[in-house]
Chains A and B, each alone.
Chain A
Amino acid sequence: MLYREALNKALDETMAVDDTIVVLGEDVGRYGGSYRVTEGLYAKYGEKRLIDTPIAELSIVGNAVGMAIGGLRPVAEIMTANFALLAFDQIINHMSKYHYMSAGKITLPMVVRFPQGVSKQLAAQHSESYEQMLSAVPGLKVLAASDVNYAYHALKHAVMSDDPFVFIEHELLYNKKGEVDLKTPLDPFKARIVKEGSDVTIVSYLKMVDDVMAAVPKIEEALGCSCEVVDLCSLNPVDYDTLKASIEKTSRLVMVEEEHKTGGYGAQIVSWAAEKMFYTLDAAPLRIAGADVPIPYNRTLELLSIPTPDSIAEQIIDWGRRNDV
C-alpha cells in the first residue's frame, strides 16, 4: 500500500463508522485531493462530508474549529505548509486554546493534515517545515508520519480523538510503499525503533528517517559501529522514555531534521539530552539540519540546503571519528 492510500484508508474507515466526520479543504472533494489522499471519498460520502472550500486557509482551519464546537469531527487539509501560515491565528489562538480557556467546556475533536517539506524544486514558498512552531504550542498534539503503517494507525487515532491534532505529512512520502498491519493497533505517541543498534542513537522523523536509513550502511562500515535509528513519530508529546532507553544503551546522540537549523525542532531534543542525559553521553550530540536559508529552486542548491543520505553519512562519519565512535 502507498502512504497516500494508507491515509485514504484511515479516513475512509473512520468516516464509515462515524458520520459526524467531515473532510474540508481546497480540492479535497470532487478533485480527490492535491496528493490524492481523499480520492474516491467524495463519490462515497458526498459533498456534505467532503467539503470543497475556497483556498482560504484561515477559514479552512477556522471553520473546522467551529464545526468541532458544533459537534462534528472535522479533518482539515492544508495544501502545503507555507499556506498554513495564513491559518496560524486559528491554529495557535483558537484550535489550541479553546479547551483550556473554557476550562474543558469546549472540546475540539479535529485534525489539520499538514503536508510539508522540501519536495522537488518548488522553491522557497512551497518547501518549508513548521514542526518547530507547531510543537511549541501547548494544546496541540503533533504527529509526524514517516511510515505507511504509522500513517494509517496514527491518522485513525487522531480522527477519533477528542483533542486537536496537527498531522504532519511529508510531500515526498505520498508514493512511498509499505505494509499496513491492520490487526496490530499502535500507540501513535510512542517513538519507533526503526533499526536496533548499540553505539549511536540517530533520532529523526518524517522523510529524514528514510535518508538516515539510506546513510546507515555507509556509516556503520566507515566507523565499524552499530547505529540505532529512532523515528520520533509524535513531536508533541515526545516519547522521552524511548529516547532515554536508547541513549542509555549507546551513550551517543545524533539528531537529523530537514528544517532550518536555527530554532529547529531538533534543538528541543538535544537540549533535553543536555539537561537530562549529560552524564550518560560520551560525546557532544551532533545536530544535522537544513541550512538557514530560504529553499532555492535550483536542484543542486536545493539539495545543498537540506540533509541528504550522503551528507548525513559524511557528517556522522566525521563526528564519529572525532569522538571515538
Chain B
Amino acid sequence: MDKLLAETLYYEMVRGRAFEYAAKEHYMQGDISGFLHLDIGQEALSVGAMKAFAKGDVFSTYREHIMALARGITPKAVMAELFGKEAGVSEGKGGSMHLFDPSHFFYGGDAIVGGHLPNAVGCAYARKFQGEEHGVMAVFGDGATNGGAFFESLNIAAAQKLPLLFLCENNEYAIGTKITRVAPFEKQAKKAEPYMPAIEVDGMDVVAVYEAVSEAQHYLEKGHGPIFVEAMTCRYEGHSMSDPNSYRSTQEMALCKARDPIERMKKVLQEQYGMDAGAIELLETKAQNEIDEAVSFAAEAEEPAPEALMAHVFTEGGTHALS
C-alpha cells in the first residue's frame, strides 16, 4: 500500500472518530436527538471497507456516519443531518440512521435490521443486468445474520451469481445480547459457507480490512457470484446513546481497546512509512478542524421550512411518456 493511501486511511479514521465524539457531545447538549449509534472502535472496518470498495454501491445500516464520510459525503452534510437541518444530506428528514447519497453510490442508512439486504441483492441484480462490473456491498451486523432476510439474500445472490459482497461487522453484540447466546457459533461466516466463499478479517486492522475487501471486490469483478467477508470488531460505546453498555465488563472493554485501530495504524505510519509524530499530529489537527467546522455549520444551518413536510412523499409528476 502506498504512503498516501496509508495516510488517507489514518486520516479518515481519525476524522471519523472526531465526528462521532462531536456527535456524542452535541447529543448530550440536546442539539441531536433520536437514536444515535456511534461507530467509535469500528473505524477500521468502516473506513477500510469504503475506501477499498470506492467504485461499487453500498447499502449500510444505522451505524453509518463514518462510512458516509469515507464515501465522500461531507462532514458538514452529515452533521447537519444529525442536527435535523435542511442542509443535511437528507434535508433533515432522515437523521442519523438515514444518510443517502446516490451521487456517492451510498444508499443508507437503513434502520430495520437486515431489511436492506434484499435491496442490496436487487441492486446487484441491476448492476449485473447493466453489465456494470463493480458490484454492490451490503454491510450488516452480526445480529442481522439471525434473521430471515439474511438467509433469503444469501440464497438468491448465490443462485443468481450476483456481484454482491456481504460484509458482516461482527462486534459480537446485538444491543446487549451476545451473539453466542442466540446463534450456535461465534463466527457468522459459517452461515454463508454453503452458498459462497467466506473470508475472515481482523476488523480492527484497517490495512487488513482494506486488503480483504479489495480482494473480495476483485472476486466480484470476475463474475463468480457473491462473497462473504466477516470482520471481527468491537464498538467502544453502547449500541446507541440510550444504551449504558452495562453488559460488558471493564476487562472486556480493556481487551477491546487494546486492539484500537487508530493507535495501531499510527504505529504502522511511524514504523513502516517513517512518519514522525509532528506529521501525524498535523493530520489529526486537520481532521479535528474539519469536524469543528462541520459542527459550526450544522449549528448555524437553517431549520427545514414547514412546507418541507409534505415534499418528497412522491416524485413531482414523474411519469415517463410512452414513446
Nearest residue in B to A161 (C-beta to C-beta)? B319
Closest 9 CB pairs of A and B: A66-B122, A62-B118, A70-B126, A162-B318, A63-B122, A103-B91, A102-B100, A66-B119, A70-B123
Contact between A156 and B122, CB atoms less than 8 A apart: no
- Give Cα A157–Cα B318 distance, bound, in whole angstroms: 11
Contact A67 B115 (CB under 8 A): no
Query: CB distance A103 to B94 under 8 Å?
Result: yes
CB distance B115 to A163 under 8 Å?
no
Q: Does A168 contact B (CB under 8 A)?
A: no
Q: Is the CB of A66 within 8 A of B115?
A: no
A63 and B312 contacting across the interface, CB-CB below 8 Å: no
A48's nearest neighbour on chain B, judged by CB, is B129
Question: Which of A92-100, A123-131, A287-295 is found at the contact surface with chain B?
Answer: A92-100
The B interface is mostly helix, strand or loop, or mixed, namely mixed
Query: Which A residues contact B (CB, under 8 angstroms)?
Result: 13-14, 17-18, 22, 48, 51, 53-54, 56, 58-59, 61-72, 74, 89-90, 93-94, 98-107, 109, 138-139, 141, 156-157, 160-163
Given the contacts A58-B152, A93-B112, A106-B102, A13 and B322 also touching, CB distance less than 8 Å: yes
- 15 A-B pairs (CB sep. < 8 Å): A17-B323, A58-B149, A62-B115, A62-B117, A62-B152, A66-B59, A67-B125, A67-B126, A71-B130, A72-B125, A72-B129, A98-B108, A102-B108, A107-B315, A141-B314
* Cα separation A103 to B89 with both chains bound (whole Å): 8
Contact yes or no, B112 A106, CB < 8 A: no
Chain B contacts for A99, CB-based, 8 A? 312-315
Give me the interface of B with A, judged by CB distance under 8 Å.
57, 59, 90-94, 98, 100-102, 107-110, 112, 115-127, 129-130, 136, 148-149, 152-153, 155-156, 159, 311-315, 318-323
Q: Determine the chain B residues whose CB is within 8 A of the CB of A58 once the complex forms.
A: 118, 148-149, 152
Residues from chain A with a CB closer than 8 A to the CB of B101 are 105
B318 touches A107 (CB 8 A): yes
**Contact A103-B93, Cβ < 8 Å, known A62-B122, A67-B126, A89-B112:** yes
Q: Which residues of A contact B148 (CB under 8 A)?
A: 58
In contact, B312 and A69 (Cβ under 8 angstroms): no
B122 touches A65 (CB 8 A): yes
Given the complex, which residues of A lie within 8 Å of B159, measured CB to CB? 54
* Other-chain residue from B107, B149, B319 in contact with A62 (beta carbon distance below 8 A): B149
Chain A residues whose C-beta falls within 8 Å of the C-beta of B319 in the assembled complex: 157, 160-162
Are B322 and A162 closer than 8 Å at their CB atoms?
no
Interface centre among B92, B118, B123 (most CB of A within 10 A): B118
Whether A66 and B126, one on each chain, are in contact in the complex, defined by CB atoms closer than 8 angstroms, is yes
CB atoms of B118 and A65 under 8 A apart: yes
B312 touches A67 (CB 8 A): no
Given contact pairs A101-B98, A101-B100, A139-B314, A160 touches B125 in the complex (Cβ within 8 A): no
Nearest-neighbour CB distance to chain A for B222, whole angstroms, equals: 20
Q: Is the CB of A56 within 8 A of B152?
A: yes
B118 & A104 in contact (Cβ 8 Å cutoff):
no
- Nearest residue (CB) in A for B315 is A162
Q: How far is the CB of A21 from chain B (nearest CB, A)?
A: 10
Residues of A within 8 A of B117 (CB): 62
Contact assessment for A66 and B118 in the assembled complex, using a CB-CB cutoff below 8 Å: yes
CA A175 to CA B152, docked complex, whole Å? 34
Return the contact of B100 from the options A54, A105, A163 (Cβ within 8 A): A105
Residue of A nearest to B95 (CB): A101
